[in-house]
Amino acid sequence: MVDWKIYYGDKSTFSNEDGPPESAPCTRVICVAFYDDDNRRKICHQADYYLWDGNRWYSADASGFWQYMQEPGFKVVKFGREIGDLAYRRIMAFALNNDLPLARAA
């Protein structure tokens, strides 16, 4: 079952079914879709950094990135990329209508 999926600027994806977060490609991230504790799909987007805390993804700016890096523990960081508006909208539309339903069975 897909718990999270990363969407890249080249239209490729990587999910927990492909491997652990640290194995995902690091650059050109457009958004990350995942399920939160309430079993509702969330989508992080329009960020410089995407951070894995062991349970879920977060989006962050430079300040959030440095705060995360100073916390103890294992780190996984992916880097966002700005792309043209049309390409961005296509990838976001795909992410919003993908195989992660809005609600996941508990």
Domain-embedded: residue 10: yes
E strand or H helix at 78: strand 76-79
103 domain residue, yes or no: no
Residue 102 in domain: no
Q: Is residue 30 part of a domain?
A: yes
Is residue 101 situated within a structural domain?
A: no
Domain contains 47: yes
- How far apart are alpha carbons 20 and 68 in whole angstroms? 19
- Domain containing 78: what range? 4-96
47-to-38, 51, 56, 59, 102 alpha-carbon distances in Å: 23, 10, 16, 6, 21
Could you give the number of structural domains in the chain? 1
In a domain, 105, yes or no: no
Q: What is the pLDDT along the chain (106 residues), one digit of tens a residue?
A: 899 999 999 999 999 999 999 999 999 999 999 999 999 999 999 999 999 999 999 999 999 999 999 999 999 999 999 999 999 999 999 999 877 888 887 6
pLDDT for 24: 98
